[in-house]
Amino acid sequence: MKTEIINVTYENLNMELIKKAGLVIRQGGLVAFPTETVYGLGGDGLNPDSSKKIYQAKGRPSDNPLIIHIADFDALAPIVADIPEKALLLARKFWPGPLTMVFERSEIVPVETTGGLNTIAVRMPSDAIALAFIREAGGYVAAPSANRSGRPSPTSSKYVVEDMNGRIDMILDGGEESQIGIESTILDMTTQPPCILRPGYITKAMLEEEIGTVETDQTIFSNRSDLSPKAPGMKYRHYAPKGTMVLLEGKKEAVIEYINNETDKKLEQGFSVGIIGTDETMNAYTAGFIKSVGKRTDERMIARRLYLILREFDDENIQYIYSESFEGDGIGQAIMNRLLKAAGHSVIKLP
């Protein structure tokens, strides 16, 4: 299949091109498009064949449900069984934006889109290209992140092309890197209290300020195979770089010393080594392919750069990756969740 790559700019939305992309979706094809979180791989969310094609293009297990992207609040009611009061409050506050909410689905949503579940995840992105595209596509765009299954989510079109060229009909290239850089927060609205299934840019505290108590799915940070996560996708080794990745926890000095020692050993054995550090520690590392994700105090920047760095390590064929850890209840939690998954929960705690 030939993939058409179309450049769109934010300053001057070319509606002719966006209409063309929308038509591809309405005719049952697939189009990758930018959002403020990561690039999405879109198909018609109400067309079972489109959803099947998405699973094929990604190489993703078809029991892993897709998020339906809408562009207008009125598009929500037809695809859900009901809209809880709290969801209304959250939509008012955080839509359009990086929050996905899970509802009971209505009859018109095919089970192919929901991976067989009776619930449907819905998000209204804030990205201007995404919104225009969704409207032109008929209003319901099912879209997982536009990476091949198991790879880090793409935050720039370069990596969408790398993963999807020849597998989908079209790529809308927004030209810029994704503003947020990690996937949306997923909140299950079908339980009382609502439950965070995937942490993201919209934090627990931000949600609780609007609707009171919110729980967090306990499987998110654990590696226990007897607990099954409520967001099916969270069980897969996701967001993974090609190299073997290890996270280091402990005092700054101990972490630096450990990483430097291990790096020297691996280099001596002939392996390539990548290090994920921060602006504060960058200069303390002595060898290897050293990358800073940003300032520790600037969690937004760290979230934005994380996948980019993992992809760059792949570009450099890095075989071993050592990363510092992050903490906190805010975006730090989302960052740590993605790092843990990238590392397959391989963590070394230093005294």
Residues lying near ligand TXA in the complex (CB under 6 A) are found at 35, 37-38, 40, 64-67, 100, 102, 114, 117, 119-121, 123, 125, 143-145, 183-184, 186, 197, 230-234
- Cβ proximity to ligand TXA: between 71 and 102 the closer is 102
Residue 333, classified by CB atoms within 10 Å of its CB into exposed (0-12), middle (13-18) or buried (19+), is: buried
Nearest Cα to 326, choosing from 221, 249, 216, 226?
Answer: 249
In sequence order, the 6+-apart residues with CB closer than 8 A to the CB of 328 are: 299
The minimum distance between CB 123 and ligand TXA, in angstroms, equals: 6
The minimum distance between CB 83 and ligand TXA, in angstroms, equals: 15
* 145 lies in the site for Mg ion, by CB under 5 A: yes
Tokens 């209290």 correspond to what residue? Answer: 193
- Cβ proximity to ligand TXA: between 190 and 278 the closer is 190
- Cβ proximity to ligand TXA: between 100 and 281 the closer is 100
* 3-state secondary structure (DSSP) of residue 37: coil
Length, in residues, of the chain: 351
The minimum distance between CB 65 and Mg ion, in angstroms, equals: 11
The minimum distance between CB 235 and Mg ion, in angstroms, equals: 13
The site partner of 203 among Mg ion, ligand TXA, none (C-beta below 5 to 8 Å per kind) is none
The site partner of 259 among Mg ion, ligand TXA, none (C-beta below 5 to 8 Å per kind) is none
Contacting range for Mg ion; rule: CB under 5 A; set: 79-87, 143-151, 243-251, 283-291? 143-151
- Cβ proximity to ligand TXA: between 239 and 285 the closer is 239
Q: What is the dihedral of CA 154, 156, 158, 159, to 10 degrees?
A: -10
In sequence order, the 6+-apart residues with CB closer than 8 A to the CB of 231 are: 186, 197, 198, 217
CB 72 within 8 A of CB 113: no
Would you tell me which residues interact with Mg ion (CB under 5 A)? 145
